[in-house]
Chain A
Amino acid sequence: MGITAIVFWILCALTLFSAIMVLVSKNPVHSVLWLVATFFSISGHYIMLNAQFLAIVNIIVYAGAIMVLFLFVIMLMNLNTRTELKKNLWMKLAGVISGGMLLWILISVVRTYSEQTKAHPVIAATNTGHIGLIKNLGQVLFTQYALPFELCSVLFLSAMVGAVVIGKKN
């Protein structure tokens, strides 16, 4: 077991543990902080896959901007001390069972795939490759994907106008 496998399993455990802690935390601020931890460990996976641009963008956009927005809204509504009112245990049990059945089906699909491709396993190359570097991504983004990139700016403009219109006091 090389160093890559050890780092991979540690990052997997960290990702899943912090994702579960997002659900079970009572305080919404703790949920936000655990979600930031999840994003950092997913960025670790990106760095291991040599997708450095996406790793940095994930930290800046998700852990930086979006999570600050969440924290700002939680502080604005003063929700950081209040817990949820009453708990319907049967609804929670039903949610966990249906989510667990979804997980069961998907994992069994992955296991079947893994057994079928045992002779020629598909490998996700770690620590190699140049497609995740900012130079190559930028070249493709501004030539082949120039139109979707410009449409993104229109999307942001409409989202900005929508947020201002919805949030305005009438």
Chain B
Amino acid sequence: MPIQYYIALAVTLFSIGVVGVLIRRNAIIVFMCIELMLNAANLLLVAFSKTHPATAAAPMAGIDGQLFVFFVMVVAAAEVSVGLAIIVMLYRNTHSVDVDFLNRLKN
């Protein structure tokens, strides 16, 4: 597969995530759209890691990209656990997860 098909798919997925962050007001769905954007970047990293043909001098060419995807998944898991804890705390205080109600830092 030519790499530009994967790039086009990943940027479309990323733009869908951006639109979701902009138009949805439920904080949980905004979080899910951030996960979509992270997955678009992951897909692009994996696709680019396969553009290096293995040679005798470098049999593991491109393996760094796949390890970076692994680390992105680790960071995403940590981010989701803290973010959902913040959303639960906000819901306990305001009884809403609408991001328009959360525009003040005080009170």
For B32, list chain A residues within 8 Å (CB): 22, 31-32, 35, 70
User: Is B76 within 8 A of A66, CB to CB?
Assistant: yes
The distance from the CB of A137 to the nearest CB of chain B, in whole angstroms, is: 6
Known: A19-B16, A66-B80, A129-B54. A140 touches B9 (CB 8 A): no
User: Is A166 within 8 A of B82, CB to CB?
Assistant: yes
Total interface residues on B, CB under 8 Å, equals: 73
Q: Give A22's nearest chain B residue, CB to CB.
A: B32
Q: Give B21's nearest chain A residue, CB to CB.
A: A95
Q: Give A45's nearest chain B residue, CB to CB.
A: B43
User: Is A95 within 8 A of B35, CB to CB?
Assistant: no
CA distance A8 to B20 in the complex (A): 25
Residue of B25, B51, B54, B80 with highest tally of chain A CB at under 10 A: B80
The distance from the CB of A79 to the nearest CB of chain B, in whole angstroms, is: 7
CA distance A113 to B8 in the complex (A): 11
Q: Choose from B8, B18, B39 the contact partner of A42 (Cβ within 8 Å).
A: B39
**Contact residue range for chain A?**
35 or more
CA distance A103 to B22 in the complex (A): 14
Q: Choose from A58, A107, A167 the contact partner of B11 (Cβ within 8 Å).
A: A107
Q: Choose from B12, B35, B48 the contact partner of A62 (Cβ within 8 Å).
A: B35
User: Is A137 within 8 A of B85, CB to CB?
Assistant: no
Q: Apart from A22-B36, A159-B78, what 5 extra A-B contacts exist at CB < 8 Å?
A: A12-B9, A22-B20, A70-B31, A124-B50, A141-B70
Residues of B within 8 A of A (CB): 1-9, 11-20, 22-26, 28-29, 31-33, 35-36, 39, 42-43, 46-51, 53-54, 59-64, 66-67, 69-71, 73-82, 84-89, 91-92, 97-98
